[in-house]
Homo-oligomer: A and B are copies of this chain.
Amino acid sequence: MSDAASLDAADPLRRFRDAFELPRGIVYLAGHSLGPVSKAVVARVAQAVQNEWGHGLVGAWNTADWIGAPQRLGAKIAPLIGARSDEVIVADSVSVNLFKLAGALLAAAPGRKAILVEGGEFPTDMHIAQGLAALARAKVRFARKGTLAERIDARTGVIIVSHVHYRDASVRDMAALTAQAHAAGAEIVWDLSHSVGAIDVDLAGAGARFAVGCTYKYLNGGPGGPAFLYVARDHQERLANPISGWLGHADPFAFADRYEPAPGAQRFVSGTPPILAYAALEAALDLMAEAPGALRRAKSQALSERFLARVFAKKRPGLQLISPADPARRGGHVTLKHKDAYAVVKALIARGVIGDFRAPDAMRFAFPALTLTYGEADAAADALIEVLKTGVYRDPAFTVSAKVT
């Protein structure tokens, strides 16, 4: 195995690590939960607050093109997910966007009243289906993990499913499931929250028509940053946004009584966008656009493989990889199982290695290419080995429960 210092020295993405504001002494492996802030984002937000809002005042809706932010930022996300620039808008949260798309699809297929989800998904992917079903008099069907495809039938209107699983990081075969669903007359809304920015996403290549995703993980867009929504061009005009807010109107500033949807994906904008959050995201997207996706994916895989090889160079009783062993079938993070995972994660955090815990026994570590070095991947592995070897995690300081997000 090559020396980490040499790999870092030769890394074509090395400069990006310095573009981020990571505290000294921290190895940050929680980018699957919240990506870190870059210097460009710090500057861009200050500019939005002081120059655009402060000096531009209400006129900045035009002079700083705030009004165009949902489409402009959508166009910047499009190349990351295999979409065309007019197929993506940035708006609301993943939860609200799931509601909009699944609601629009239910309304468009009145004979198909079932929303199909898989148990164990990220909660909002399952929960949104439940409130929507109650309002639209539809039903939610739960498939056991791994049985989603078998459960598609003639009553299935919409399937909500993650591309990369939040827990074990497994990648679902988008093209295969999409083809199956379409063959059965059903539609899929893909949740790209754990894949966008982490792995290659090719919506067009997979024949996918609808997707949502979040921007605060691998896109480093900021805590709770605005989400995005994708509708393939051929399906935009046939769908109605159930949350028909004024900024999705064909002519918002006509102040007309009757709602008329804007052409294209713009109709899926509902209310006024939180511009300061958009400013952070835009700077993050501009920075990421400088890093070729193939380089990012290759480095991220190299980092996680290196981490795993180092951790499992010897037998680690009680520690188990529950993510796919093949890096091509994994997203941006790896998930390890240990009965004391909670205490192990806390002991690692005390050593400056930030991963996260998911009840009851999982710990997750992400390896984003732009914000992590090979040296840090080694350091993280060494810290985990040490924590397990010494048993320091059994210290009561680490085993007392507290809320972990």
Of the 9-residue stretches A29-37, A323-331, A386-394, which lies at the interface with chain B? A29-37
> Which stretch, A73-81, A180-188, A244-252, A307-315, touches the partner chain B?
A244-252
A111 CB–B CB distance under 8 Å: no
Give per-residue flags for A233-274: 1 if the beta carbon is below 8 A from chain B beta carbons, else 0: 000000011111111010011111111000000000011111
Knowing A36-B57, A95-B246, A280-B276 are in contact, say whether A240-B131 is a contact too (CB < 8 A). yes
Report the minimum CB–CB distance from A20 to chain B (whole Å).
9
| A96 and B135 in contact, given A128-B244, A277-B277, A354-B58 (Cβ under 8 angstroms) | no
Q: Is A259 in contact with B126, judged by CB distance below 8 angstroms? A: yes
Instruction: Give Cα A182 to B51, complex, Å.
Output: 47
Complex Cα distance, B49 from A52, in Å, reads 17
A99 CB contacts on chain B under 8 angstroms: 242-243, 245, 270
Assess whether A189 is interfacial by the CB under 8 Å rule.
no
A211 to chain B, nearest CB (A): 16
Q: Which of B37, B58, B224 contacts A272 (CB 8 A)?
A: B224
Q: How far is the CA of A198 from the CA of B324 in the complex (A)?
A: 57
Q: Name the contact of A49 in the complex, choosing from B45, B107, B356, B402 (C-beta under 8 A).
A: B45
A45, B293: Cα distance in complex, Å = 31
Closest to A402 in B: B62
B253 touches A403 (CB 8 A): yes
Q: A191 CB to closest chain B CB, in angstroms?
A: 12
A42 to B214 alpha-carbon distance, docked (Å): 26
